[in-house]
Structure 1
C-alpha cells in the first residue's frame, strides 16, 4: 500500500481491505489513489455518498467471469424448466418460423 504524508492523508480504510476517498482527494491525488486501487478496492465519495468503486483490473475481470458463469447457469436452468413444462403446440417448425419472419428457402 502507498503511504501518504500526513498532509496528504485523507484516505480512510473501511471494511478491512477497502479505502474510502472523497472526490476532491481523487482530483488532487489521482496518481497515489490509483496506485492504491491497483491493490485493493477504493470507494470514491461525493458529498459523503459513495459514487464509484475503483478495483484492481484482475478483480474486475474475475467478477465479470463469475457473473457470466452465473448468468449462463441460470439461463440453462430456466431453459430446462421451460422445456419440462412445454407442450408440442408451444414449438414452431422451421418452416413455420421462416413463414412468420418472412424468410424464404433457396
Structure 2
C-alpha cells in the first residue's frame, strides 16, 4: 500500500526528475499511498489493468476521454491507520474519489 524507505523505484523517479519531466503510471488494484512520488512527477496516471498499447494510444492520440478515480488515495499511511473503515470519506486523501480529468 505504501513505498518502503529507500525504494529503488522512488530513487529512480527522484533522479530522473532532476533532468526530465517524469510521467509515472501506477498499477492500482487497491488504494496506494503515492505522496512520496507526487512532488517528483509531472503527472501520475492510475492504471487499473489496461493493456499498455491502449494506455499509450490514449495518452498520445487526440481522442476525447474521461478518467476518474473509483476510490480515494490516502495522503499517508497515518491517514489509513486512523480512518474509520465503516464511514465513507473520513480519510485525508491525496486524490479523492472522483478526482480525475477530461480530455
TM class, shorter-chain normalised? under 0.3
With the length of structure 1 as denominator, give the TM-score of the two structures.
0.25
The structure carrying a bigger helix percent of its residues is 1
Rg larger in 1 or in 2? 1
Q: Which has the higher contact order (CA 8 A, sep 6+)?
A: 2
With the length of structure 2 as denominator, give the TM-score of the two structures.
0.25
